[in-house]
Amino acid sequence: MAPKNDAQKIAPETVLDFLRETMPFNELEDDALRELARHAVIDFIPKGSVILRQGETEVEHLYLIQKGGVKIYLTNDEGEVSLKDFRGEGQYFGALPIIQNARANLNVETVEDTFCFLFSKAAFRHLLDTSPKVSHYFLRSLSEKLVNTAYAELRRHRIAPRTESTLFLFSTQVGSCIKGKPQTIAADQSVRRAASRMAELRIGSLLVTDPGGAIIGIVTDKDLRTKVVAAGLDYQTPVTKIMASPVQTIPAHAVCFDAMLRMMRRRIHHLAVEKQGEIIGMITTHDIMLLQGTSPLYLFREIVAQRTLEGLHPLARKVPSVVRTLIEEGAKANNITRMITILNDHILERLLTLLMEDLGPPPLPFCWLLMGSEGRSEQTFKTDQDNALIYAWPENEEKREAAARYFKMLSERAIENLVACGYPLCPGEMMASNPKWRLPAPEWKKQFDSWIRTPEPKDVMHSTIFFDFRGGYGDLSLANDLRDHLVKSIPGQELFLYHLARNAMEARPPLSFFRNFIVEKDGQHRNALDLKTKGLVPFVDFARIFALKHGIRESNTLGRLQLLHEGGHISPEMYNETVKAYEFLMQLRLFHQLFKMEAGEQPDNYINPAQLSELEKQTLKESFEVVRRLQNHIKQEFRLTER
C-alpha cells in the first residue's frame, strides 16, 4: 500500500493567507476556504496580454489578482476604446459574465506581469449558492444596473431579506402610521364645536371641509389655545377664522423621517397623509415620538422652546448625540446632513429672534445668508461659520446710517453667540460681522456681477463659497431675488465658467495607479487622506459648475445633481455613479468625525486608509475613480487642456 497522499487534502498556506486577507473570501469558514484554495488554479499572464475579449471570450473562471494589475476597457463599434477601470491585487474580474452566463462584457488586459488565482465557473457558482455573504458582496460590488436581472433572481433564491430596516424612521412609510380616516368638521361650525369634537374623539386636530366636502384647512388644539382662548376670541367664531390653510400634506409612501423633517421645517405638529390626491389620515409628531425613542424631535423642541441666549448655547452641542442615534439606526449621510442642517437652522433662528427681541426691530427688511456647506445644507459636525447679510436698499442717508448701525450690532452679537454655541469662526472672515459681507441688495448684485465679469483667482474662490448661498433667516425674498439675479447672470459667461472649471481641477483624486492611495506626505496628517478636499470637494465643484451653467437655483449638491439629471444635462449613468460615490464619501466622513468626537478629539477630515476595511478601501478607490471621470467630463465640457 502506498502511503496516502496528504497533499490532496492540504492547500498551500501561501494561497490560504492571501484569501484570508481578501474580500469577500475572508468571510468564509476555514473549511470552505481550504476547499476553495484546493480548487484554485494559478496562472501567470505577462504584461500586455488580453485575457478577456469583449463579446468573444467565454469566461470559464473568476480571476482573482494575486500580484500585478489589469485594465478594463470597452471597445465600441467604431473601435474606439474607453477605459473603465484598473484592478490590482486582491481585486477580481470575470464575475459578471459568470453570473449572467454570458460572454465577457469588457476587455481585460494585463498592464503588469500578473499572477491570478482562477476559480472555475462551477466553483464560483457553488460559492455564490452556499455563502450568502460572498454572493452579497459580489452582487453588491457589481454595478446594480448591469446585474439587475441576475441580482433579482439570485436574491430571490438566496438572500433573505436584510434586517437592516429595524429603523423605524427610515423604513416605515407614513401611510402605515395613520390611525384611520381623518376626522373633519364643516367650515361653518364654531370653534366650540371643534373643541368638543376633538375632546370627544381624543385627537388634536380636525380637517375643515367646505360644503362640497373638499378639505380647505386644519384646526389643531394649539390653534384653540393660542388663537381662541389666549386671544379671548368668541367661542362661536367659525373654525375658518382660526384654521391653517392650506393643509400641509405628505404622500403616504414617504418615510417617517421625511414627515419629521417637514414638520420640523415648518414648525407644525400635524401633517395630512395623501394618497392619490386624497387625504387618507393624519400623522403627528406624537405618533413619531411614540415609535422613536431618542428622537431629534426632542432636541428640536428644546431649541424652539428656549427663551434665553444662554440656554441656547449648550443645545448645539447636543446635535452629535442625536446624530449618533440616527447613524446607529442606519441613516444615510444625506439624511443626517439634512437633519444637522435643520437643527442648526433652528438654532440660528432662535438666536436671531432672541437678539432682535433685545435690539428691537430692524430698520429695514434683511436676510441672514448661509454659505458654503451651510448654504448647501451639507453640514457635518465640523462646520466653520460662513455667513453674510443682505438688507433692503435704504432710501435715504438716515436709513442708511440706521441700517449700518443696527446690522453691525446684530451680526457682531450673532457671531459671538454662534461661537458660544460651538460654531467656530471662519478663518477667512467670511461672516456677517465683516462689513464687506453685510450689504444692501443692489450692492450684493454688483459684487456678484464683478466676480462673474472679471474673474480674478480670488473672485473664483469667493464665488465657490458665496454662490452656494441660501436664505437662513429673515426676509427670504431678498435671498431669492439675489438667486434670481445670479441664475440670470451666469449662463453664457464662458470666461467665468472656464475659470470655475479650472479651479475644479485643482483637487486631484489621490489615486496612484491602483495600488496605493496618495496620502499627505508631511505635517501632522502624514499617512492620512484628506477626504474633504480630495474626495468631496470635486463632487461639490462639479455640481456647482453645471448647476450655474444651466441656471439651476438649487444649492444642495445632491439636489443639483438630481436637477441636472432630470434636465438631461448629465447621463443617467453619470448621475447614478456620482450620487453613489458622493454619498459614500459623505458617510465615511461622518463616521470618521463621530468617531473622533467620541474619542474626545476635534472632528477633522483626515482618514487613514490603512484603518479602513477592505470593502471601504475598494469603495473609496471606486469613488475616486468617479472623481476622475467627473473631472474628465469638466475638462471636455470646458475644453480645458491638460496642464
Partner 1 sequence: MLKNLLARLGLTPPEHPLFAANHLYFRGLDQNRPLADYDFVVFDTELTGLNRRRDEIVSIGAVRISNLQIRVGDSFYAHVKPARSLPKDSTLIHRITPQQLKEAPALARVLPGFISYCGHSLLVGHYVGLDTAFLNRACRQYYGSPLFNPCLDTMILAQSYTEMQWSQYHDRFRMDISYNLAALGKQYGLPEFTHHNAYEDALQTAYLFLYLVKKMHTMGITTLKDLYNAGRGWRRLF
39 binding partner 1? (CB under 8 A): yes
Does residue 230 belong to the site contacting partner 1 (CB under 8 A)? no
Which range of residues in 2-10, 171-179, 430-438, 627-635 is near partner 1 by CB under 8 A? 2-10
Inter-CA distances, 542 with 425, 486, 562, 570, Å? 27, 18, 13, 11
Residue 226 CB neighbours (<10 A):
12
Among 20, 27, 32, 38, binds partner 1 (CB under 8 A): 38
Residue span binding partner 1 (CB under 8 A) among the ranges 20-28, 32-40, 96-104, 195-203:
32-40
CA distance 581 to 612: 16
Secondary structure (3-state) at 384: coil
513 counts as binding partner 1 under rule CB under 8 A: no
Which listed residue (21, 26, 46, 179) binds partner 1 by CB under 8 A? 46
Stretch that binds partner 1, among 70-78, 110-118, 300-308, 625-633 (CB under 8 A): 110-118
Q: Bridge-partner residues for 71, per DSSP?
A: 86, 109
The per-residue DSSP string of 251-268 comes to ETTSBHHHHHHHHHHHT-
What the block records as the C-alpha cell of 227 is 388663537
DSSP state of 431: S
> Per rule CB under 8 A, is residue 113 in the interface with partner 1?
yes
Closest approach of Cβ 105 to partner 1, in Å? 23
Interface stretch with partner 1, choices 1-9, 260-268, 605-613, 631-639 (CB under 8 A): 1-9
Cα–Cα distances (Å) from 628 to 233, 274, 465, 511, 638, in that order, read 65, 43, 23, 9, 15
- Would you call 455 helix, strand, or coil by DSSP? coil
Binding of partner 1 by 50 (CB under 8 A): no
Measured between alpha carbons, how far is 137 from 207 in angstroms, rounded to an integer? 49
Which CB atom, from 113 or from 221, has the smaller least distance to partner 1? 113
Does residue 208 belong to the site contacting partner 1 (CB under 8 A)?
no
Other Cβ atoms less than 10 A from the Cβ of 10: the count is 12
Which one, of 212, 287, 206, 189, lies nearest residue 247 by Cα? 206
Q: How many CB atoms lie within 10 A of CB 586?
A: 23
Query: Considering beta carbons, is residue 48 or 246 the nearer one to partner 1?
Result: 48
- HSE-CB for 148 with a 13 A CA cutoff: 2
As measured in angstroms, the least distance from the Cβ of 112 to partner 1 is 8
Give φ, ψ of 34 to 5 degrees.
-65, -40
Contact range with partner 1 by CB under 8 A, out of 20-28, 37-45, 197-205, 548-556: 37-45
The CB-of-298 to partner 1 minimum distance in angstroms stands at: 55
Cβ(184)–Cβ(215) below 8 Å: yes
Rounded least distance, CB 14 to partner 1, Å = 6
Quick one: three-class SS letters along 57-78? CECCEEEEEEECCEEEEEECCC
Judged by DSSP in three states, 92 sits in strand
Q: Can you tell me the distance from the alpha carbon of 373 to that of 384, in angstroms, rounded to the nearest whole number? A: 9
* Residue 43 burial by Cβ neighbours in a 10 Å radius (0-12, 13-18, 19+): middle
The answer to whether 42 contacts partner 1 (rule: CB under 8 A) is yes
Least distance (Å) from partner 1 to the CB of residue 118?
7
Selected from 20, 27, 43, 325, the binder of partner 1 by CB under 8 A is 43
Q: How far is the CB of 22 from partner 1 (least distance, A)?
A: 13
State the DSSP H helix or E strand holding residue 446, giving kind and residue range, or none if neither: helix 441-453
The distance of closest approach from Cβ of residue 114 to partner 1 in the complex, given in angstroms and rounded to an integer, is: 10
- 167 is a site residue for partner 1 (CB under 8 A): no
Indicate whether 11 belongs to the interface with partner 1 (CB under 8 A): yes
Contact region with partner 1 (CB under 8 A), list: 11-19, 456-464, 541-549, 574-582: 11-19
Return the closest-CA partner of residue 190 out of 233, 246, 222, 225: 233
- Residue 5 touching partner 1 (CB under 8 A): yes
**Minimum distance, C-beta of residue 65 to partner 1, in the bound complex (Å):** 10
- Where in 55-84 is the site for partner 1 (CB under 8 A)? 66-67
In the complex, the smallest distance separating the C-beta of residue 37 from partner 1, rounded to whole angstroms, is 6
> Binding of partner 1 at residue 572 (CB under 8 A)?
no
Q: Does 15 bind partner 1 (CB under 8 A)?
A: yes
- Least distance between partner 1 and beta carbon 46 (Å): 5
Query: In Å, what is the CA distance from 546 to each residue of 15, 98, 551, 558?
Result: 48, 39, 8, 12
Does position 637 interact with partner 1 (CB under 8 A)? The reply is no
Cα–Cα distance between 420 and 569 in angstroms, integer? Answer: 43
Compute φ and ψ for 129, nearest 5 degrees: -75, -35
Distances (CA, A) of 225 to 6, 163, 194, 345: 86, 44, 12, 27
Determine, following the binding rule CB under 8 A, whether residue 631 of this chain makes contact with partner 1.
no
Binding status of residue 31 toward partner 1 by CB under 8 A: no
Identify which range of 35-43, 90-98, 174-182, 415-423 contacts partner 1 by CB under 8 A: 35-43
Give Cα separations from 107 to 50, 61, 231, 629 (angstroms).
Answer: 7, 15, 76, 19
Pairing verdict, β 438-440 and 387-391: parallel
41 binds partner 1 (CB under 8 A): yes
Residues in the chain: 643
Question: What is the closest distance, in whole angstroms, from the C-beta atom of residue 7 to partner 1 in the complex?
Answer: 4
Please tell me whether residue 192 binds partner 1 under the rule CB under 8 A. no
Q: Which is nearer to partner 1, 43 or 412 (CB)?
A: 43
* Least separation in angstroms between CB 518 and partner 1: 22
Using CB under 8 A as the binding rule, whether residue 2 contacts partner 1 is answered as: yes
In the complex, minimum distance from the CB of residue 136 to partner 1, in angstroms, rounded to a whole number: 26
Question: Per CB under 8 A, which region of 38-46, 141-149, 271-279, 468-476 contacts partner 1?
Answer: 38-46
Q: Give the span between the Cα atoms of 257 and 165, in whole angstroms.
A: 13
When asked if residue 10 is in the footprint of partner 1 (CB under 8 A), the reply is: yes
Specify the residue, 36 or 319, whose C-beta has the smaller distance to partner 1: 36
Interaction pattern, residues 114-143, with partner 1; x per rule: CB under 8 A: -x--x-------------------------
Query: What is the spatial distance between Cα 6 and Cα 213, in angstroms, rounded to a whole number?
Result: 84
CA–CA separation, 444 vs 466, rounded Å? Answer: 10
Please provide residue 89's backbone torsions phi and psi, each rounded to the nearest 5 degrees.
Answer: -55, 135
Interacting span for partner 1 (CB under 8 A) from 15-23, 208-216, 250-258, 549-557: 15-23
Minimum distance between the CB of residue 20 and partner 1, rounded to whole angstroms? 13
Q: Does 14 bind partner 1 (CB under 8 A)?
A: yes
Interacting residue ranges for partner 1, rule: CB under 8 A: 1-8, 10-15, 17-18, 37-46, 66-67, 113, 115, 118
